Amino acid sequence: MPIPNISVRHPRRDDIVDDPVEVAGVGTGFEGTLVARLRNATGEEIAKRSFQAGGTGIWGSFFFRIDVPGVPNRPRGTLEIFEESAEDGSEIFKRVVPILFGRALQNPYHGFTVYTVQAGDTLSSIAQEFYGDADRFSTIFQANRNVLDDPDEIFPGQELRIPQ
């Protein structure tokens, strides 16, 4: 199996990210230049920056931060990492990572607690316990869309992320 030109190691799919978003991986591009872009839930570009990694035919590690301007109106978004073609400027070797913007869930955002669902729990009762407000169940639901399809269907033993 060939080694991909770009491998994003952090964030992983469905990670809750902070502001700035910290990005790490391995890659190579023409003259070592790659591009990172953040998109909101509607696909609108909200941030973009270039960074260096490796060089033509040489893979190198990368780590950088990219600022999230303002608080996104919805938690879901994407991080895109790609090389711009030297021939026509098109985006090549693109990697797209679905992410959740922490500040859209809880502002300010200070990470999350992992809670193990107990018998009799509901998202509303968990929200009451952590936030003092049962109506904030949707925050927990949105933070866990990678494992929950319906806010009324949780089960004992399930581990949920509770934004702090």
Set out the domains of the chain in order of their start, with CATH numbers.
6-104 (2.60.40.2550), 111-163 (3.10.350.10)
Residue 29's pLDDT is 75
Residue 28's pLDDT is 84
Q: Is the peptide bond before 75 cis (omega within 30 degrees of 0)?
A: no
**Distance in angstroms (rounded) separating the CA atoms of residues 129 and 146:** 22
Contacts of 152 (CB under 8 A, 6+ apart): 122, 123
Residue 115's pLDDT is 98
What end-to-end distance do the CA atoms of the chain give, in Å?
41
Number of neighbouring beta carbons within 10 Å of residue 142: 18
Residue 12's pLDDT is 97
Is the overall model pTM greater than 0.85, yes or no?
yes
Residue 8's pLDDT is 96
**Distance in angstroms (rounded) separating the CA atoms of residues 63 and 19:** 15
Closest by CA position to 163, among listed 145, 70, 73, 94: 145
Helical ranges in the chain per DSSP H: 102-105, 123-131, 137-143
Per-residue pLDDT of the chain (164 residues; tens, 9 = 90+): 666 789 999 999 999 999 999 999 999 877 778 999 999 999 999 999 999 988 777 888 999 999 999 999 999 999 999 999 889 999 999 999 999 999 999 999 999 999 999 999 999 999 999 999 999 999 999 999 999 999 999 999 999 999 99
Report the Cα 41 to chain-centroid distance in Å.
11
Contacts of 121 (CB under 8 A, 6+ apart): 154, 156
Residue 57, sorted as left (phi over 0), alpha (psi -120 to 50) or beta, turns out to be left
**Distance in angstroms (rounded) separating the CA atoms of residues 74 and 81:** 21
